[in-house]
Amino acid sequence: MDIDDILREVDPTSQFIPTDTRDLQALTRAWVAERSSPELLHWPADGLFERVNERIKQQIERVEEMTGDMDPKTNFALIIIQTELERFKYLVRSYLRARIAKIDKHTLHYLSSPDLRARLSDTEQAYATRHQALLHNHYLSSFLSAFPPALQNLNDTAGNISMIDTPDTDTAVFIRLLKDALVEGHGTDRDGALNGKNGDIIILRCDKPFLAPPLDMSDLQKTWAKHRLGAVLTEPFDEHEEQEIGTVSELPEHFDDDDSSASSASSASSTGTVIPSPSQNLFARPQG
């Protein structure tokens, strides 16, 4: 069994996996995606972490119960449970830390609009708000209060430089296709598109990797939402929203809230197929 098989099992088509396993897979995916994407992804909305937490608690209790038992067999089982527990904890910890690192780095950016705020969990929001307040206070008491009032802001945009640092959405990300679709990418000189097959792994610029419309509208959105940024957004797509969007050209705007500054980088009309020229190096596809 290699990594492809493992990833394949998480495909939406395989519904018969028990929820425990699915949660672990969802957690792993969220972790991989969070660590490989330049910007903060949405906090899993379907209660994934509540379930994971609950399970960790149960296992800890179980370990405590079993510790008293001196039977060698129990001891062996205990070691396996504890090892698994450590791994689970590591996944959660690493995931949370990756998020906190991003939030700390671009605090004001993620607090700046309701859409971005919505990506944070409640605790993360509280943390980010408080952290920013602390920083601001620190600046104020250290030097900022002695400044002329006009210069005391932390969110100026004077001189065409915004004080709010934003994540670099131009960096490359890997995406993996869950079904056949046309993938479009944005190059330095021009855009390109390519027919992606199920299971393809593609590297492309993160700013707005999006899939050209296949025939079915809802198909597009589902794949699109799932494929962007490393392909691992785990929350179920809102059916209600799908119906509200009538035309293809509205699709990118719908997702604009995800993109901080890159909204000008592409437009919805660029759905025409452009054959990538060899010199462009827009996509790198592993052969075979």
Partner 1 sequence: MYGDLGNKLVQQAKRTQNLAHLPPYQTELIRAVTREVRDLDKDVAALLEPFQGSFHPADDQAVACTLLVNHLSMRRNKRCLLAYHRTRTDRLEELAWKGYDVVDLAGQQVGNGASGASNMTGDGTMSNLSPQEEDYIRQYSDLLAAYKGQWTDIDLTGSLEPPRDLFIDVRVLKDAGEIQTEYGAITLTKNSQFYVRQGDVERLIAQGYLQKLT
Site for partner 1, rule CB under 8 A: 53, 56-57, 60, 64, 67, 79, 82-83, 86-87, 89-90, 92-94, 96-97, 100, 104, 123, 126-127, 130-131, 134-135, 137-139, 141-144, 146-148, 151, 156, 158-159
SS3 of 138, please?
A: helix
> Which amino acid is located at 42 in the chain?
H
Count of Cβ atoms closer than 10 Å to residue 132 Cβ: 17
231 in the Ramachandran plot: left (φ > 0), alpha (ψ -120 to 50) or beta? left
90 vs 285, which CB is nearer to partner 1? 90
**213, 183 contact by CB (below 8 A):** no
Minimum CB–partner distance for residue 179 and partner 1 (Å): 31
Beta bridge partners of residue 184, listed in sequence order: 193, 210
Minimum CB–partner distance for residue 86 and partner 1 (Å): 4
Minimum CB–partner distance for residue 11 and partner 1 (Å): 25
Minimum CB–partner distance for residue 259 and partner 1 (Å): 25
Length in residues, the chain: 288
Closest Cα to residue 37, out of 252, 207, 235, 220? 207
Distance (Å, whole) CA 8 – CA 244 = 31
Closest Cα to residue 26, out of 236, 259, 221? 236
Task: Please report, for residues 51, 52, 61, 62, the alpha-carbon distance to residue 58 in angstroms, rounded to integers and kept in the order given.
Answer: 11, 10, 5, 6
CB neighbour list of residue 36: distance below 8 Å, 6 or more residues apart: 173, 174, 229, 230
SS3 of 52, please?
A: helix
**91, 32 contact by CB (below 8 A):** no
Minimum CB–partner distance for residue 87 and partner 1 (Å): 6
149 vs 286, which CB is nearer to partner 1? 149
Minimum CB–partner distance for residue 3 and partner 1 (Å): 15
SS3 of 59, please?
A: helix
Minimum CB–partner distance for residue 160 and partner 1 (Å): 11
127 vs 237, which CB is nearer to partner 1? 127
30 vs 194, which CB is nearer to partner 1? 30
17 vs 163, which CB is nearer to partner 1? 163
Minimum CB–partner distance for residue 123 and partner 1 (Å): 5
- Please compute, for residue 275, the number of CA atoms within 13 A of its CA located in the half-sphere on the CB side: 2
157 vs 273, which CB is nearer to partner 1? 157
23 vs 184, which CB is nearer to partner 1? 23
Q: What angle do CA 234, 42, 220 make, to 5 degrees?
A: 55
64 vs 239, which CB is nearer to partner 1? 64
